Structure 1
Amino acid sequence: MNEKAFKTLEYNKIIDLLTEQAASPKAKELCRSLKPMTDKAKIEAAQTQTADALTRLFQKGSVSFSGIHDMEASLKRLEIGGTMGIDEFLALSSLLEAAKRVKAFSRGKSEDGARDSLDDLFDGIEPLTPLLDEIRRCIISEDEISDDASPALKNIRRSIRSMNDRVHSQMTAMLNNTNIRNSLQDGVITMRNGRYCLPVKAEYKNQVPGMVHDQSSTGSTLFIEPMAVVNLNNELKELYLKEQEEISVILANLSNLTSEYIPYIREDYRILTELDFIFAKASLAKIYNGTAPIFNENGYIHIRKGRHPLLNKHKVVPIDVTLGDAFDLLIITGPNTGGKTVSLKTVGLFTLMGQAGLHIPANDRSELCVFHEVFADIGDEQSIEQSLSTFSSHMTNIISILDHVDEHSLVLFDELCAGTDPTEGAALAISILSKLHARGIRTMATTHYSEIKVFALETPGVENACCEFSVETLSPTYRLLIGIPGKSNAFAISGKLGLSADIIEDAKTRITTSEQNFEDLIADLESSRVTIEKERLEINQYKAEVASLKKKLEAKQERLDESRDKILREANEQAYAILKEAKDVADTSIRNFNKYGTTHAPVSEMEKQRSKIRDKMSAAEKNMAGTKKKQAPAGNAPKNLRIGDRVKVLSMNLTGTVHTLPNARGDLYVQMGILRSLVNVRDLVLLPDDTVPAAAKKTNGKSGSGKIRMSKSASVSTEINLIGMTTDEAIAVLDKYLDDAYIAHLPSVRIVHGKGTGALRAAVHKHLKRLKYVKSFHLGEFGEGDAGVTIAEFE
């Protein structure tokens, strides 16, 4: 498609918004190069991918594609036997972490378990966890290799630390020597060229025998390496060289391991960038509430409540546009600033966006046609450089459009043939539109010419439309009304703005009778339309009310029918039971009567039988009176619990604090010292704030340990912040905190030390290695604080 239409319809601005949604450089490049397609199958496939990604965003939330790096140069070097550096391995680690994160996002299908268009892409991702874990194990940061990367490196670094201690011990002894100390500028040990030196005053250089490595800018201080530590420094230097050699070996081994996964790494990068691109389209659709349009190749357009994506979504007025079915040429008229150009741009921009695989901000079931070209002549085309007037520039563009247009094109004209004599301009515009209409080319045009309005009324397959305007408020409503020609309202607007009435009346006498009648006809049509629209809205409202009342009445009738059937059923059951009971009594009486025969029945026996019957009648009478069974008294379960409230667990006869709020079933966790148990709210009694457990009041020696643990468990936080402290301060605070956390039986803690220069982090890691009760520690992962946080786990 022609680039001029992209600029005219502001498609490039949509691409800029799309590019902002992508995270990786390659995905941004794909966004910038996105162009509308003309193959219906490819368009629908792209729309399906966007729709499926949007569904996943609504179901699972957003997914981060950060950290996707192009590793092609590094992989090519591996293929020819080269090795990768630390920075490259960190970039690869970031790529694999992104793969792992995106793969995890893909898990957990919808309830129906159906596959979508993105499943094959997600299935193709290989997180390469063994490689990722090995890189993480060996490389801590861009300037630090882990001691555990290899046994040799661990031994070398142990020797380096030992040698450093020996050098420091030797030089500290020299600092404590009074004769040497008086010769020093400062009582400190410094480093020059990687060797330990002492700052000696120039006049006392003979007092400290050794090698001069540097001097101050003034020459008053010489940095001398004492002869006593030269050999130690030499050995230290050799150890540092061995350390670098071992690091090179480690990187070479990692490179060999990585070379085995080259095809998978390339495929991961390709899939991640493609998914990043697809989810960028979905994110953009989510921002402006877009939907997937239905595409056809029959030249039919039906946009339902379309909203221009570059306008404020809270203020833009939705429009309905139809073209290509009953008519293929739509003429839009109305006053300036009424929304005619926006309507034109909306149709053109929706076409470009839809064919590029982007959702459009419109209601569901909006339809678009697949066009091979979109031509637009919109805006001020005046060219000073080419000495062209506005009319000449527009006409040059129109001629170019007529030369290249075909039956698969969409043509958009804004103020066709304006800027010249109205009579000639209208005639020329009608001729251009007639030629396009005769070829069946889908065309939309805006105009002020009355002649074009008449042309639309008289010509089959051509339809008028207008952008509604309120003369009372002198403001447009921006509603597009198809089937009604618009009125310029020049006289009405001028009068509202204060133009003298005699001037307006004089102007009215200067237009022809036919023009006046046509404008009056349009005004009558507009008045009738407004009246019909109001009546239609009222009718629809009445219909909705009637439908609602009918639905309520039907529901009420259904409930009554159900209630009646239930009452009749229960009555029949009760009647049957009564009859059965009466029959049983009668049968018993007859049997008794027959048993006595002609002899006289004992009065006491007959009285007993009668008493039984009377008791049954009394019981039945009570049931009829509606005597209700006493209900169990309501429970005294505490309400409005808050985290931290003190409660007593009745079943355990223990007190504790509320750790979580009750769920729908009333279950919650209560912390009772080191015991954390799931109980029901009905098993709790809320205690006053000043209630102190009996165990806490004991002061004998036997309960001391328990009191400490209870206190620690209730007060120790799972996180400590060391940012802003010096190394010595931080280690002292950290050491006490770790002791408290371990005593409180916390499984793990979070140590916040920040990134900075890395000195505080290194000191924390060094201290953690010395603690026997620390099982393991690692830097925070994505979402936990990254390299600014260390997670420590206890034995």
Structure 2
Amino acid sequence: MNQKILQTLEFAKIKQLLQEQVVTSMGQEEITKLTPISEAEVLNNWLAETEDGLKVLRLRGGIPMPKLENIRPHMKRIEIDANLNGLELAQVGRVLQTTSELTRFFDDLKDAEIELSRLYWWADQLVTIPSLSQRIRESVEEDGRITDEASPELKTIRSQIRRSEQTIREQLDGLIRGKNAKYLSDALVTMRNDRYVIPVKHEYRSVFGGVVHDQSSSGQTLFIEPKQVVELNNKLRQQQIAERQEIERILAELSAELAPYRLDILQNAYLLGKLDFIAAKASFGKQLKGVVPSISEENHVVLKGARHPLIDADKVVANDIRLGEDYQAILITGPNTGGKTITLKTLGLLQLMGQSGLPVMAEEGSQIGLFTELFADIGDEQSIEQSLSTFSSHMTNIVDIMSKVDEQSLVLFDELGAGTDPQEGAALAISILDHVGAKGAYVMATTHYPELKVYGYNRSGTINASMEFDVDTLSPTYKLLIGVPGRSNAFEISKRLGLDETVIEEAKQIIDGESQDLNDMIADLENRRKMAETEYHEVRHHVDEAERLHRELENAYGYFFEEQEKELAKAKQEANALVKEAEEEAEKIIADIRKKQLLSGQQGGVKEHELIDAKSKMTRLYHEETQLKKNKVLQKAKEQKQFKSGDDVKVESFGQRGTLLKKMGEGQWQVQMGILKMVIDEDDLTLLKPEKVEPKRMISTVKSSGASRVTNQLDLRGKRYEDALAEVDRYLDAAILAGHSQVTIVHGKGTGVLRKAIANYLKNHRNVQSYELAPANQGGSGATIVQFK
């Protein structure tokens, strides 16, 4: 990119704003060498880094970067085996410590599964050297002072120095107190030539003896080292020399430890500068409310709500700028001070910023082109030294541009053809635009010439534009109007300012009729544009509202399926638990049967009642379904069943078998249950298969369902095990329907097997409240008394 365009569009001021955001000298260097590029792959990486920086700034407050100095000169000295001083070592140590901190920072981002396109790639190249970083941190303070912990010898020497200084001060404090105070200019202890002295009046110099190290400017005060502390000062001086020698040894040792890691440290410094630069771009974008644009390799520029970054945010007017897709040239016409030049510069500067990997001051969805060159002829470039007029200066610049322009160029012309005869200037402007357009370049130009309005209307790939002017307030609005050429508004402004209407009408008659028609056409276009803009905003409002509702519906839809999946998973988990429990119970029953089969050889085989008992246990493993009424599938199945008189049904609410007699109404049937006739809803009925006709059995005390009376005692003596249980089941139903609150079941004493089986049955019967063996006078253990609920 040519340097002249950077100067014309004030790109250096953008870099100055960036430099306010960096905190490292390496980051400053990155900004210094920043320039727009046209390599698509590299530029995509730059923009992705800026996007990453904005994301980290939004989620974590930015990359935590401290102030770092340039350590390249330090590493150069290490390369030639020179020693670093304390401050230089501290600066190197700060780079090593920052490397470790940033490595942990990006590891935390990875653990949080925050996706970044490029920053992880930079962070992964950092090389941590924890042992060396720890050694420098323990030995050197931030200001370069060597700490006591740098070596045991240094700690010992400094301890001796502190004791010596304390002894000297105690000696001198004793001399300056009491009667000796009259010999002193001031009762204090001070330093001269690194030795402790006291200020003595000139006439009393012999009172203390010792060595004179200095005197005041007036000569009235002598700074004397008393003879009592000369030896102590000599000892302190020796200790100080030992301290300095030990410090030099430590510095040499630390410098030598840096040598093997010199290249890694330089690499870390470079990477930290890159990360600081990326963080600065993000802070710059946030401060100016910028966005990261996408790149159009077809050079379709779409800047939504574009703002000039160097104009106060409270004053700048945002404009939509589109170039390349529907038209390759925009001609902005209209009077001065309307904002034409600023619009021109906004397009150029935002394009330069985007091609430098920086955020642009626009709205989301903006995109930039990928131009190999930007050219501009903007402003008054009159040169006194070269004796060039304004027109000559402009033409010299335009000639240079036309010799270099191609289909990958963006050209900005301000007041094209100005500075000469209007007719000739307009003709030149048209010819220049034709020539640049023939080369395929993209153009935005401003002009005063009305002839170019017709040119913009007639030429394909070219569109007129203007800057809006509010005639009511006599001031520009700085809004760009694409598709509407500009007009001078001279008559309207003059009328608002009070010029006689007669004068205005005469002026209208003087100007060319075609010009007046053109102005009338432009006025009509402006009115139509305003109407269309109003309708657009109304439609946009409805579209936004529809999109909002659509998003809410999508969120609700997603939430519904998420909850559905959770409930299904929960149901499956509960079902699996029930199945597992049933399997465990079944395994126990099967194991018990196998155990009995193994003993069959000794005891004559498994008895029939034991098999029936095991079958009963297996049957009880099924869980009763209590929510059938809420089951839509079963409800639908019920709706499909057809009832008719004489069908056998089960009344779900009573758990009893019955026979349908006749239909009583919509969805209701009269049902015969034993001796009872009841009207039951169809929803409470389940169709059963007809009962098989059983052979005639021994007469028991239980009468048929048609009997008029059910006794309160059932005698099972002499019955087979399986028949006895079936008899008990039927008897209890009949007794309950007959209204008995208590019955007696006679099973005999025998081996007790039948008694136990009946007890197990009664324990699981839902209508049995309690049961117990009969008293001795009513059969004892040969009978069981049952109480109903």
TM-score (norm 2): 0.69
- For residues 200 and 394 of structure 1, what CA distance do their matches in structure 2 show? 81
Residue of structure 2 equivalent to 1:305: 305
Any conservation in 1 of the 2:164–2:232 contact (CA below 8 Å)? yes
SS in 2 for 1:582: coil
Change (3 A) 1:238 1:486: same
SS in 2 for 1:480: strand
Aligned ranges 1:337-416 → 2 under 5 Å: 337-416=337-416
- For residues 186 and 359 of structure 1, what CA distance do their matches in structure 2 show? 66
- For residues 363 and 49 of structure 1, what CA distance do their matches in structure 2 show? 19
- For residues 388 and 106 of structure 1, what CA distance do their matches in structure 2 show? 59
- For residues 45 and 559 of structure 1, what CA distance do their matches in structure 2 show? 37
Residue of structure 2 equivalent to 1:146: 147
* 1:53 and 2:125 matched: no
Any conservation in 2 of the 1:67–1:95 contact (CA below 8 Å)? no
Change (3 A) 1:507 1:373: same
Change (3 A) 1:590 1:469: same
Residue of structure 1 equivalent to 2:499: 499
Residue of structure 1 equivalent to 2:530: 530
Describe the superposition over 1:117-174 as per-residue Cα deviations: whole angstroms up to 9, x where unpaired: 1222212223433222222222235474322222212222232233334444545555
- For residues 298 and 399 of structure 2, what CA distance do their matches in structure 1 show? 26
Residue of structure 1 equivalent to 2:30: 30
- For residues 379 and 135 of structure 1, what CA distance do their matches in structure 2 show? 57
SS in 2 for 1:67: coil
Compute the RMSD of aligned alpha carbons: 3.9
Residue of structure 1 equivalent to 2:654: 582
- AA aligned to 2:407 is E
Q: Please, which runs of 5 or more residues in structure 2 have no aligned partner?
A: 564-626, 639-648, 660-670, 677-700, 714-731, 742-789
Deviation at 1:61, TM superposition (A): 0.9
Of 315-324 and 53-62, more deviation after overlay is shown by 315-324
Aligned ranges 1:117-196 → 2 under 5 Å: 117-140=118-141, 142=143, 144-171=145-172, 183-184=183-184, 188-196=188-196
Any conservation in 2 of the 1:68–1:272 contact (CA below 8 Å)? no
Change (3 A) 1:500 1:194: same
Deviation at 1:454, TM superposition (A): 0.9
**Size of the alignment, in residue pairs?**
609
Residue of structure 1 equivalent to 2:88: 88
- For residues 357 and 557 of structure 1, what CA distance do their matches in structure 2 show? 39
Any conservation in 1 of the 2:333–2:448 contact (CA below 8 Å)? yes
Aligned ranges 1:236-315 → 2 under 5 Å: 236-315=236-315
- For residues 233 and 549 of structure 1, what CA distance do their matches in structure 2 show? 87
Describe the superposition over 1:59-92 as per-residue Cα deviations: whole angstroms up to 9, x where unpaired: 2112343332222222222233221111212222
Deviation at 1:373, TM superposition (A): 1.6
- AA aligned to 1:467 is M
Of 451-460 and 288-297, more deviation after overlay is shown by 288-297
- AA aligned to 1:135 is I
- For residues 301 and 538 of structure 1, what CA distance do their matches in structure 2 show? 26
Residue of structure 2 equivalent to 1:235: 235
Aligned ranges 1:329-340 → 2 under 5 Å: 329-340=329-340
Change (3 A) 1:176 1:407: closer
- For residues 333 and 185 of structure 1, what CA distance do their matches in structure 2 show? 86
Deviation at 1:12, TM superposition (A): 2.2
Change (3 A) 1:580 1:342: same
Identity of aligned residues (%): 40
- AA aligned to 1:61 is G
Aligned ranges 1:520-599 → 2 under 5 Å: 520-541=520-541, 569=630, 579-584=651-656, 595-597=702-704, 598=707
Change (3 A) 1:221 1:374: closer
Change (3 A) 1:226 1:578: farther
Deviation at 1:589, TM superposition (A): 9.4
Any conservation in 2 of the 1:331–1:445 contact (CA below 8 Å)? yes
Deviation at 1:190, TM superposition (A): 4.2
Any conservation in 2 of the 1:294–1:366 contact (CA below 8 Å)? yes
Change (3 A) 1:205 1:539: closer
- For residues 156 and 558 of structure 1, what CA distance do their matches in structure 2 show? 73
- AA aligned to 2:652 is K
Change (3 A) 1:143 1:502: same
- For residues 363 and 709 of structure 2, what CA distance do their matches in structure 1 show? 95
- For residues 168 and 552 of structure 1, what CA distance do their matches in structure 2 show? 80
Residue of structure 2 equivalent to 1:9: 9
Bigger-Rg structure (1/2): 2
Q: Please, which runs of 5 or more residues in structure 1 have no aligned partner?
A: 614-795
Describe the superposition over 1:756-780 as per-residue Cα deviations: whole angstroms up to 9, x where unpaired: xxxxxxxxxxxxxxxxxxxxxxxxx
Describe the superposition over 1:629-675 as per-residue Cα deviations: whole angstroms up to 9, x where unpaired: xxxxxxxxxxxxxxxxxxxxxxxxxxxxxxxxxxxxxxxxxxxxxxx
- AA aligned to 1:12 is A
Any conservation in 1 of the 2:87–2:145 contact (CA below 8 Å)? no
Residue of structure 1 equivalent to 2:19: 19
- For residues 93 and 52 of structure 1, what CA distance do their matches in structure 2 show? 28
Change (3 A) 1:578 1:453: farther
Residue of structure 2 equivalent to 1:512: 512
Deviation at 1:582, TM superposition (A): 3.5
Change (3 A) 1:87 1:612: farther
Of 453-462 and 391-400, more deviation after overlay is shown by 391-400
- For residues 437 and 32 of structure 2, what CA distance do their matches in structure 1 show? 35
Residue of structure 1 equivalent to 2:318: 318
Aligned ranges 1:681-700 → 2 under 5 Å: none
SS in 1 for 2:469: strand
Change (3 A) 1:611 1:570: farther
SS in 1 for 2:653: helix
- AA aligned to 2:702 is K
SS in 1 for 2:524: helix
Of 590-599 and 100-109, more deviation after overlay is shown by 590-599
SS in 2 for 1:69: coil
Change (3 A) 1:108 1:590: same
Deviation at 1:452, TM superposition (A): 0.9
Residue of structure 2 equivalent to 1:730: none
- For residues 78 and 539 of structure 2, what CA distance do their matches in structure 1 show? 76
Any conservation in 1 of the 2:36–2:355 contact (CA below 8 Å)? yes
Residue of structure 2 equivalent to 1:791: none
SS in 1 for 2:109: coil
- For residues 527 and 112 of structure 1, what CA distance do their matches in structure 2 show? 54
TM-score (norm 1): 0.68
Residue of structure 1 equivalent to 2:744: none
Of 572-581 and 272-281, more deviation after overlay is shown by 572-581
- AA aligned to 2:231 is N
- AA aligned to 1:383 is S
Describe the superposition over 1:378-412 as per-residue Cα deviations: whole angstroms up to 9, x where unpaired: 22233344443333322222222222222222111
Deviation at 1:226, TM superposition (A): 3.5
Deviation at 1:267, TM superposition (A): 0.9
Of 46-55 and 188-197, more deviation after overlay is shown by 188-197
- For residues 266 and 242 of structure 2, what CA distance do their matches in structure 1 show? 34
- AA aligned to 2:344 is L
